[in-house]
Every structure is written in C-alpha cells, then in structure tokens.
Amino acid sequence: MCGLIAISGSSDAAYEVFYGLMNLQHRGQDGAGILAIAENGQEHFHLQKGSGLIEHIFSDHSLHEINTPSAIGHSRYSTVGHNDPNGLQPFLDYNAGIGLGHNGNIVNFYSLRDVVLKQGHTLVAESDSALILSLLADSLDGQTPNCQSLFSAIEVCMTKLVGSYSVIGLTRNGDVFGFRDPDGIRPLVLGKRKNANGKVVHGLASETVALSFLGFSELEDVQPGEAVYIDRQGTLTRKIISQHSHSPCMFEWVYFSRVESEWESTSVYAARFELGRLLAEQLKKAGVTADIVIPIPETSRIAAIALAECLGKPFRELLIKNRYINRTFILDDQASRQEAIRRKLFPIAEEIAGKDCLIVDDSIVRGNTASQIVKLVRSAGAKKITLVSTCPPIVSPCYYGIDFPSPSELISYNRTPDEVVSATGADHVVFQNFEGLKKAIGKETLCLGCLTGTYPTDITSASDFTSRRVQDRDAQIQIKNKC
C-alpha cells in the first residue's frame, strides 16, 4: 500500500506534489520521492527521494526553485523487496524517457521477473514496480513516449501483469499518465481545477483528500483497466484498455484511507459510521452489554461514535495516543509492531477501573494491537472486556498490497471463535458480518480475498509470492538485529 500523486499544468507542480504527499503519509512511512521535469534553460528530469517521513526528506524552499509544470510523487510502504533505499520510488528509465510510481502488488512478479531477466533486460531495483517500468520501456522499444505509444505499451503490460496496480508516470516531454489494474483493486482518482488565470490543472492521486487539499474540486475515479494521459498542453485522453471486474479493496474503507477521502462514490467517513451502526445492531441482537465504549485510535473512532450512539452508552477516549508514534500496522515485522503499540497508547485507569468495557477496533488482523490493548485495559482495572471489530475475520493472505502474505500470522486463521477470544485475552470478541460490511460500504462487488479466500485475479503464483515475501522480511529482521 503506497501513496501516489501527479500534477500536470501547474506553475509549481513539484511543490504541489510535496504537499499532496504530506496528505498521503499514512499510506507509507518507509520513504518517498518526487520526480519532476525541470525547466532551467534545458528540460531534464529532476529526481529526489529518501528514507523516512516526507517532511524530513524534502525542503519546500528547494522545491519552489524547480520551475516545473508537471511532477509525480510516491510515498512507500514496502511489501515486495527489502525495505531499503534502492526500492524507493518513483523509478526512472532515462533512456526510455519515462518514470513511474506504483501502488499495489504483482502476484506473478517473481516468475515474470525471471522471464524479463532471461530476455536480457535489467531492473532498476528488486521490485514489482521496477518490473512494470521495464515492461513499459521494452514495449515502447525506442519510440518517443506519447499518448498512442504509451497506451499501446500499457495494453501489453496488462496482458502480462497479474495482481493489483495503480500507476502514475511522467515522460521526458512533461506529459503525465496513469492507469489502474483491470479489476480496480487499488484506488486512483482524477481531478481537475481552474487556476485564477483560467488555466486548467489536472491531478492524479491515491485518495481524494490529497487533491482536495490542493484545491481540486472536480474529482472522479479512474475506472478499472483505464489509462489516462495528460499532455503538456493540458489535453486529457482516457481509454478503457482491459476491464475484468469491479473489485475495490474493502480495506481502504475499513482502515487504510483517510476518513476525509471518498472512493467509488462512497465517503470513507460515512462507511465507517455505518460500520459502527450496523455492528451495534449485531451486539443488540446478541445481548452484549457494556458500561462504556472505547475506540482504539485513530481509525476506529468514527465507528465507535456511531456504535455508542446506537447502544446508548457513553463514548470515552480512554486510550490516549502518543502522536509521535507512526501507524503500527504498516511496520515491517511483528516485534516492531508490538513495541510500537506499547509506546503508542496509554490508558486512563481511573475511568476504566471496575467497568464493563467495549473496545472498538477497525479490524483484527494479526492480533498484536488487540492483545496488547486488552492487557492495557485489564491492567487498568476493567471488570470485563468485549472486543469488537468493524471488519469480519481476516482468514486469508492479501496478495494485493497489504502486508499479510502468510496465513499463519493471522489471528483468525484456522481458529475457532473461542480460540480467537483466548488469543486476544478478551472476555468476548465480536466481528462485523459480511452483510454489514457490504451494506456499510454500499458495494456488492468488492475484493474480499482476505476474508473469503476467493480472489479477483489468478493466484497460481501466490505460494511463490508468499514464500519470497516471508524470506524478504526475515532477511530484513536479521539486518536490523545486526545493527
């Protein structure tokens, strides 16, 4: 899961991309990069990237100095390839005259990479994003990148790639392009605005919040299998290249996206509020009672408010977050997540002691957060703890860009409900049902692979993907331990 943004037609595109990325920091903490076309007498690519948080990598003053009409940016959350600086995006193929950033996972990455390498091609990094760049460059075969040649290259890519991908790109001519996988698993939105001088500016981003912040008011989704091309003169061309299904990832609404965003015509805020309301109905039918409702910050707050209102119980923020600790779910190993959780939250014991506590989480994936918080609340003197999840049990791996590639690390995998309760340490655990999830999001067709084990794409290569990804993570942990 990564953050993408592209700006075309602005007088200060690199600077705008920087502020767009700031609004996508939640989608990746490993590092970030900005690729721009600089106009300093002679046009050339300007690429800057680094590890860590966005505000520590770029200087707004230096970005102001890049006189550029178009730029793209990427914030990274690593799922394939080691978490090292060589994997930071955007990637650039100078000879082909294109650079790109990618959000998602290519399930057949390893087998397709081996074919590409045997053909004598090279990758700029051990990454599925670098593989996409190589395929595009090879398909261009020396042609000048333009709307027609890139659409043809994208069509070739779509016949070879299996998995999820939203891609943004930049050509040496200063044209911007983007495309989305044929199943529409990962988000990509298109925006338009008019500046005071009447000039039209276009933007592409992973979430509407990044474009709304920059003043874009006309926003719409790039469709599954659609390619978008914006040339330097501002001409926008769109084409559906290959469309298989409409399977947006449910986890965007449940956890990943900012609550201010909207995707597929459904507000993230509205979906999370409805998840809480519908979960409250389940709890009423089950006869679950509580004295207070406590959200696990931050993502579950909206659902917890709705749930408390529907149950007629007090909503209390009693797990106080240290705002200087980043998102724990997207850290790259279990030990890091558990330590971050311990440092991230602190309970208000005097308000918890002696009470039946209903703890609301957006989802229970590995169980790290759930079990640690149950311990915290128990140590604060809670009389009873009911843990509820706005998402159904996650029982299968994700192959599309969220980092749980192995079923063995999932708390609900191959466990009975009672065993899940025992693993968390709670007195009761209640999950959202499938009907509630679909109704809250307002979609009948979603990617529910991690909930059902049925995926929108071929997963023949999934076992290889899982084993290689687990090897990557183990190697990264060994590196950390040696430091």
- The residues near 301 (Cβ < 8 Å, ≥ 6 apart) are 295, 317
Radius of gyration of the chain (CA): 23
- The residues near 465 (Cβ < 8 Å, ≥ 6 apart) are 80, 105, 107, 108, 109, 110, 399, 405
Tokens 């920091």 found at: 25
| C-beta separation of 384 from 358 below 8 A | no
Distance CA 113, CA 118 (A): 9
Q: What is the DSSP string of 242-294?
A: -------BTHIIIIIS-TT-EETTEEHHHHHHHHHHHHHHHHHHHT---SEEE
Distance CA 37, CA 66 (A): 8
Catalytic residue of the set 2, 249, 447, 450: 2
Residue 80 corresponds to which amino acid? Answer: V
Burial class (CB in 10 A: 0-12, 13-18, 19+), 293: buried
Cα distances from 232 to residues 9, 10, 140, 188, 236, in angstroms, run 7, 10, 19, 21, 10
Residue 454 corresponds to which amino acid? Answer: T
The angle that helices 462-482 and 109-118 make with each other, rounded to 10 degrees, is 90
Q: Is 60 helix (H, G, I), strand (E, B) or coil?
A: helix
Tokens 């065993």 found at: 419
- The residues near 138 (Cβ < 8 Å, ≥ 6 apart) are 116, 121
Pairing relation of β-strands 356-361 and 292-295? Answer: parallel
Give the count of beta carbons closer than 10 Å to the beta carbon of residue 152: 14
Distance CA 226, CA 181 (A): 8
The number of angstroms, rounded, from the C-alpha of 298 to the middle of its chain's C-alpha atoms is: 16
Cα distances from 88 to residues 73, 81, 404, in angstroms, run 11, 10, 21
Pairing relation of β-strands 3-8 and 200-205? Answer: antiparallel
Respond yes or no: is residue 157 known to be catalytic. Answer: no
| C-beta separation of 47 from 18 below 8 A | no
Distance CA 80, CA 121 (A): 20
The set of catalytic residues is 2
